[in-house]
Amino acid sequence: MDEQLITISIDEPFEPLVAEEMLRSVVQRTLLLEGWPSAELTVLVTDDETVCQLNRDYRGLDEPTDVLSFSAQEMQPDATTFVSAPEMVNYLGDVIIAYPVAAAQAPTFGRSVVEELALLAVHGALHLLGYDHGTPARRK
């Protein structure tokens, strides 16, 4: 059974500023285009402080960033991955977006905040699917 479960969580101060259904829609389309009709993930829109703390704890960088992705599955070729039961949806992981960073950088790239949030949600989802841009070769 094909099913996507995209949970969108928006911290209270940002609720009136974020279109939950838009985020869900762009992530669902991304998963479908990438061949994942059955998948589950969470998108959290939060503040700079939360993202900064996560960035410090998990990446060793004491600064906020626009988006972080935390995969529930290791995507390296030699890694052991969790195998779900056939009737279960594959849980991919979590995407965390810093709303203040997104809002501040959107004009720099000539985008609206809505467009920036959509791009960051897609960017984060692609990371969960194994895409990486850490090196020039991976960027391609």
Q: What would the pLDDT profile of 47-99 be if each residue is shown by its tens digit?
A: 999 999 999 999 999 999 999 999 987 544 444 444 555 555 689 999 999 99
Q: What is the rounded CA–CA span in Å between residue 30 and residue 49?
A: 28
Q: Are 62 and 116 in contact (CB under 8 A)?
A: no
| Whole-prediction pTM | 0.86
Beta bridge partners of 68: 96
102 confidence band (pLDDT: 50, 70, 90): very high
* Interior/surface letters 2-29, b for 16+ CB within 10 angstroms, e for the rest: eebebebebeeebeeebeeeebbebbbe
